[in-house]
């Protein structure tokens, strides 16, 4: 039961995580002051902070399988 329950509750984890990683950088504005409040708590290896990449992720119609998005 634990394995089946974990499967059903965890199957949607990765798609939700992909949308949350660049969220703070997409919706940070001078009015909500997110840049001063939570940004210093977010590790650089965990978030996507490059403005062009965040915009391309949310607006879509971009091929992410190009050289600019993957690092080796």
What tens digit of pLDDT does each residue of 22-38 get? 888 888 888 888 888 88
**Whether the model pTM is above 0.85:** no
Among the listed residues 45, 16, 12, 39, the one whose alpha carbon sits nearest the alpha carbon of residue 26: 39
Among the listed residues 71, 42, 68, the one whose alpha carbon sits nearest the alpha carbon of residue 57: 68
Outline where 1-72 has alpha helix (H): 2-10, 13-20, 23-26, 51-59
Question: What are the pLDDT digits (tens) for 2-15?
Answer: 787 777 766 677 77
For the chain, the domains span 16-72
């Amino acid at each position: 039961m634990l394995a089946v329950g974990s499967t059903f509750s965890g199957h949607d984890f990765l798609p939700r995580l992909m949308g949350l990683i660049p969220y703070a950088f997409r919706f940070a504005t001078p009015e909500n002051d997110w840049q001063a409040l939570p940004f210093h708590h977010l590790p650089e290896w965990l978030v996507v902070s490059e403005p062009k990449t965040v915009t391309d992720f949310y607006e879509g119609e971009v091929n992410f399988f190009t050289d600019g998005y993957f690092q080796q």
